[in-house]
Amino acid sequence: MTELPAGFRVRIDPAVRRLDGGAALLGGSPTTLLRLKPQAAELIADGELTVTSPATAALARRFLDLGIAHPDLGPRPVAEVTVIVPVKDNQPGIDRLLKSLAQHVIVVDDGSAIPIQAPHVIRHAQCRGPAAARNTGLAAATTEFVVFIDSDAVPVAGWLAILSAHFADPTLALVAPRIISLGDPAGALGRYEQIRSSLDLGAKPGPVVPRSPVAYVPSAAMMVRRAALEDGFDESMHVAEDVDLCWRLHEAGWRLRYEPAAQVAHEHRTTLRTWLGRKAFYGVGAAPLAARHAGDVAPLVLAPWSAAAGVALLSGTKTGAVSAVAATGFAGFKLRRTLGGLAHPGRAAARLLAMGLGGALWQLASGICRHYWPLAVLVGLCSRRARRVIALVALSEGLADWATHDGPGNLDPMRYVLFKRLDDVGYGAGLWWGAMRARSLQALLPRVG
């Protein structure tokens, strides 16, 4: 059975815009314009859809896959589950975590210098990495579902009931909670990490799909259908093995979801050296991912017209501005013709163009500061105009990020922008080091098309 069951309810994302009186929906992840038949538009007039037939099951599935709607099921009794905790040299973390778990727990000690003490421990004589530790626990589990959670994390009450509800969808392999900061952050770096951690994917739920806003979920905490895992994590990968797992499950036809209503608190690194090291570590993982999943690791994913218009604008020249207007105008002409079936195709085209150009500028600015900062530095050394543009981009992108990530209530803009730029330098350094070590530029190539 692959259909959504009767009674499965979905709710239209509040950010989705209704066009032509509800005849079309604009939104989702990535942004999609979806035209509806009159009967379908009537079914979702109140913003909800409950599965009552094969036709409504197919419609709900379409909405879920596009990110137009999200499950609205409410918590349900926790399924029979085994919790697997990989750990190395963190007895205090294990002691703290076990106090918050009522389920059967398998602790896998991955070669700790002092053996971990817990009720059910499987030990590796030598460190084999977190992927191997999780697989060892997976092999010992017999329940239908397993939960992977790291030893430096503590779940928030009610998390498993929220995650369990998603498995009413028989095609769902994995669902992950939001990772938040554990306790009150110490110092300015701790406050930055509280609102900008690489593990925190934000407050918006959605499907987990490569090259989308939620392209993966971290293995710091995730609930998985055991039958979907097959060989589990790739033990040859000591970084980004969770991303690889997500993408392999997606390629196999399974669905994955991110559910921020469920939360797990994580003890973030807050000393500058360990924090920068972790950012670089994440960057190193892009090269092995690119070797396994060609095209999915692209730092930028842009439409040709928005790439051309964005690059032209960022040139900082009058010619560039004119070129951007021309590229956008041409794209708008073609798009308006495509949307001719709508009552107001020009209005819809304008909205799509504005969203596309805004998204492209954001990606390009982020790429200059994060993925391609070594190239930006070299270009800046050769051109005064380029230095001005890069400095403006670095400042404006940082301030925009501050304003959109709850920075105003936690950290002043000067320190936030400083930490954001250091965050990007750390990740970018790891990205380029990993590419050089792999002797491949695949992880650095943008995707335009």
Q: Is residue 34 part of a domain?
A: yes
Helix 345-369 and helix 384-404, axial crossing angle in degrees, nearest 10 = 110
- Answer yes or no: do 183 and 331 share one domain: no
- Answer yes or no: do 419 and 319 share one domain: yes
- Answer yes or no: do 137 and 262 share one domain: yes
Q: Is residue 289 part of a domain?
A: no
- Answer yes or no: do 244 and 315 share one domain: no
Tell me the pLDDT of the chain (449 aa) as tens digits.
Answer: 578 999 999 999 999 999 888 889 999 988 888 999 999 999 999 999 999 999 999 999 999 999 999 999 888 887 789 999 999 999 999 999 999 998 899 999 999 999 999 999 999 999 999 999 999 999 999 999 999 999 999 999 999 999 999 999 999 999 999 999 998 877 899 999 999 999 999 999 999 999 998 999 999 999 999 999 988 999 999 999 999 999 999 999 999 999 999 999 999 998 999 999 999 999 999 999 999 998 899 999 999 999 999 999 999 899 999 999 999 999 999 998 888 878 888 888 898 899 999 999 999 999 999 999 999 999 999 999 999 999 999 999 999 999 988 655 678 999 999 999 999 999 999 999 999 999 999 999 999 98
Provide the terminal-to-terminal Cα distance of the chain, rounded to the nearest Å: 35
Examine the fold and report which residue of 229, 247, 270 is the final residue of a domain before the chain moves on: 270
- Answer yes or no: do 43 and 143 share one domain: no
Tokens standing for residue 38: 């009159």
Q: Is residue 325 part of a domain?
A: yes
Q: What confidence score (pLDDT) does residue 51 get?
A: 96
- Answer yes or no: do 135 and 223 share one domain: yes
Q: Is residue 281 part of a domain?
A: no
- Answer yes or no: do 326 and 346 share one domain: yes
Q: What confidence score (pLDDT) does residue 184 get?
A: 82
Provide the number of structural domains found in the chain: 3
Q: Is residue 295 part of a domain?
A: no
Q: Is residue 359 part of a domain?
A: yes
Domain that holds residue 41: 9-71
- Answer yes or no: do 88 and 66 share one domain: no
- Answer yes or no: do 127 and 48 share one domain: no
Q: Is residue 283 part of a domain?
A: no
Q: What confidence score (pLDDT) does residue 1 get?
A: 55
Q: What confidence score (pLDDT) does residue 21 get?
A: 85
Q: What confidence score (pLDDT) does residue 351 get?
A: 87
Residues near 435 by Cβ (< 8 Å), separated by ≥ 6? 286, 287, 441, 442, 443, 444
- Answer yes or no: do 39 and 60 share one domain: yes
Q: Is residue 286 part of a domain?
A: no
Q: How far is CA 438 from CA 111, 288, 292, 364, 393, in A?
A: 28, 8, 12, 25, 30
The CATH number for 249's domain is: 3.90.550.10
Q: Which of 335, 48, 407, 10 is nearest to 205 (CA)?
A: 10
- Answer yes or no: do 105 and 159 share one domain: yes
Q: How far is it, in rounded angstroms, from Cα 232 to Cα 174?
A: 12
Q: What confidence score (pLDDT) does residue 434 get?
A: 97
Cα-to-chain-centroid distance, residue 152: 20
Beta strands in 156-233 (DSSP E): 172-181, 206-207, 221-225
Cβ atoms of 204 and 290 closer than 8 Å: no
- Answer yes or no: do 98 and 25 share one domain: no
Q: How far is it, in rounded angstroms, from Cα 290 to Cα 285?
A: 9
Examine the fold and report which residue of 48, 71, 94 is the final residue of a domain before the chain moves on: 71
Predicted TM-score (pTM) of this structure: 0.94
Examine the fold and report which residue of 270, 287, 320 is the final residue of a domain before the chain moves on: 270
Q: How far is it, in rounded angstroms, from Cα 166 to Cα 31?
A: 23
